[in-house]
Chains A and B, each alone.
Chain A
Amino acid sequence: MGGFTKMNGLAAKRGYTYRLTRRQFLVASSAAALAACAPAAVTPGASGSPSAAPGKELKIGQLLPFTGVYAELGNSMRRATELYLRQNDQKLANRPVKLIYEDDTNVTATGIQKAQKFIDQDKVDVMMGVVPTPLAYGIRNAVHEAKMIFIDTNAGGNALTRDTPDCKPACKSPYIFRSSFSSYQISFPIGDYLSAKGTKDWFLAYANYGFGTESKADFTTGLKKNGGNVTGEVAPPLGNADFAPFVTQIKNQPTKNVYSFFSGADAIGFIKTWNQLGLPAAGYKMYGAGFLTEQDVLKEVKDLANGAITSLFWAVELDNAENKKFVADFQKQYPLLPDVFAVQQYDGMRALDEALKKLGGDTSDKDKFSKALEDVTFKSPRGDFAFDKTTHNPIQDIYLREVKTTGGQTVNTILDKIAKVTDPGK
């Protein structure tokens, strides 16, 4: 096991988080030392409280990818976690925090093992993280049976927060919360919105894997609500290198409005090829789920994405006090803009913090803990944040954004808002 810890330590030090990690380690350890002294001096009467008592170290197990294609998502979520702790004296409520990171290496089986390690060996108080949906589904039962509070800070598969027949491929649990989104929230409202505005015919392009096909299905349902119609589709495999064959297909069919579900490298490939093959000049218009034009993509494609209309529950440019502070603090700490993954993780930490404050830091009763999380509401960088008590999925506004380049900066400008979108899970 020593080997595992060592490897994980190495993984954690990769990238430009290395320097920051060391500095933060010093801050964290000195804060922990202070915290260890302070409560002892101030609250001598704390004896007799349960093991998960106020003042005792709170262990958070973070299951994230630090290697493989999603490594940068893991890094971003790690930055957000550490930013939140730094802003709060390395404490949640009255408990100093110990973070334990594990790298899922983008292999579902490895991720499941690491989750089991958090439960059996590290005996963490809370689990957070998980980028791919298959991993979230894979650890669902273990988490549920261990009554481990788990805040999913990314994976968007609908089933994780729904009541499904025979719990296949997963189902909701009193102990599972989600601070990110469900596929439905990203796709159904926008399909509904666009068809209600009068654009009925759509061509679809989506990455052929779980999230892509689920989003496509929800978007289509939204369209059909107002008589919308899908005229055709292309579905490149996830991580497809060459987009020319697919964009050529799009260009040789008559439907000009194209809705797409791509992120990261796929999104960059799609947008560049779209321009290379001259689709804007031919009158084609690009729409998509927000990940298509997030920071990681925009900083590489820049004005090539201009005019693309996408929907998401957040944007760097969102005009509210919490977001401005979040973006400013993040940039003070790290040499880059925060992305949506950072927001999801940051809100997960905030929700946890708020719940612990209500419990006075006592995490021993998991049912009380779950109840406290259900009641959490706060102002997030994305707007008002609350968990839906039925599903534990966030109730959130969805923003319609258009990519524009002004003064050399390519950004998502907010066009409209679809208020209080709730997952229809029972």
Chain B
Amino acid sequence: MSPELLFQQALNGLSFGALLFILAAGLSLVFGMMDVVNLAHGAFYMLGAYVALTVVQFTGSFWLALAAAPVALGALGLAIEPLLLRHLRGRHLDQVLLTIGVSLVIVDLIGLIWGREVRSLPFPPGLDGTVVLIGGVYPVYRLFVIAFGVALAAVIAVIYRRTKLGMLIRAGVEDAEMLGALGVNTDRLFALTFAVGAALAGLAGVIAAPVFGLQPGMDVDALLYSLVVVVVGGLGTLGGAVAGSVLVGPVDTFGKVLFQEFALAVIFAIVALVLLFKPTGLLGRIRIAR
């Protein structure tokens, strides 16, 4: 592999990793707070992409779609938590089952509303060109994805560490029951967390749509990758989501071109290796059984 090729593939891997971070951050947040592995996360991602498709069709603006899809998904999350999940609080496995049901309903509704053809979102004007980097031209949009991922990680980190909301979330992750006893409205906090998780999935859907397209089955792929990222990185922590995506993105990219025969096995090999040596994931905390 020449240095130029190495550099270009590293950028490909990093931009894929950045996208994985946007996708996995929401899943990780919801798990950390609510102890629920939200298996509807992939369906939220898919719905975000389709909402963006409609917004772009009607307004022609990618940026409006980038704002509208997370808002729509956030609203959906805000409705689903109190209407469905809350009734099963404490019954984690039942909640997980419920999220599978939610994902089936969402995916079928998408098929009904948008059809089952393969669709694609154009690159936003201004980001559809290329820039000259070491070894040749590189697409601006992929650099934008990297920048967006880094910025989002920074924003989440600031909220997490420096704001009252962040403090509540951190406290909720430690012990939600105690937080409730201290007079915090945990119902509202849980609903908000779930909504933010869904909004992040929707955001990832919009960012990914111009590159990966929209088609039936995209929800499963997204869910699989985001689960891999959070398992590798460590469930329920922001640092874990960052570490997981920075590792999985490039390894997946290089694995696919270097070991084409085992393209699909490479990421699962990472999962196996990481779990073997560090069962809690790279930056996972040891959870106290409750």
Binding site for B on A (CB under 8 A): 14-16, 67-69, 71-72, 75, 208, 234-237, 239-242, 244-246, 248-249, 251-252, 264-265, 268-269, 272-273, 276-278, 281-282, 296-297, 300-301
Contacts and interface: CB of A to CB of B under 8 A. Distances in A.
Contacts of B142: 244, 276
Contacts of B263: 208, 235-237, 240
Contacts of B13: 245
Given A14-B116, A15-B115, A72-B116, A246 B256 contact: yes
Contacts of B280: none
Contact of A252 (B4, B16, B141, B254): B4
Contacts of A249: 5, 257
Contacts of A69: 215-217
Interface in B129-159: 130, 136-139, 141-142
B171 interface: no
Given A14-B116, A245-B9, A276 B257 contact: no
B118 A71 contact: no
Contacts, number: 118
Contact of A67 (B215, B216, B260): B216
A389 B4 CA distance: 55
A244 B254 CA distance: 11
A272 B120 contact: yes
Nearest to B225: A241
Contacts of B16: 242, 244
Contacts of B256: 236-237, 240, 245-246
B111 interface: yes
Determine the interface band of chain B, counting residues with CB < 8 A from chain A.
35 or more
Interface of B: 2, 4-5, 8-9, 12-13, 15-16, 108, 111-112, 115-120, 123, 128, 130, 136-139, 141-142, 208, 210-213, 215-218, 221, 253-254, 256-257, 260-261, 263-264
A277 B261 CA distance: 24
A24 to B, nearest CB: 18
A74 B14 CA distance: 37
Given A68-B217, A242-B12, A245-B9, A15 B253 contact: no
Contacts of A235: 260, 263
- In the complex, the 10 A-B pairs of residues with the closest C-beta atoms, listed nearest first: A71-B116, A300-B120, A244-B12, A276-B139, A265-B215, A252-B5, A265-B118, A278-B137, A241-B212, A69-B217
Contacts of A14: 108, 111-112, 116
A237 B257 CA distance: 11
A88 to B, nearest CB: 28
Contacts of B123: 276
A235 B259 CA distance: 10
Contacts of B217: 68-69, 239
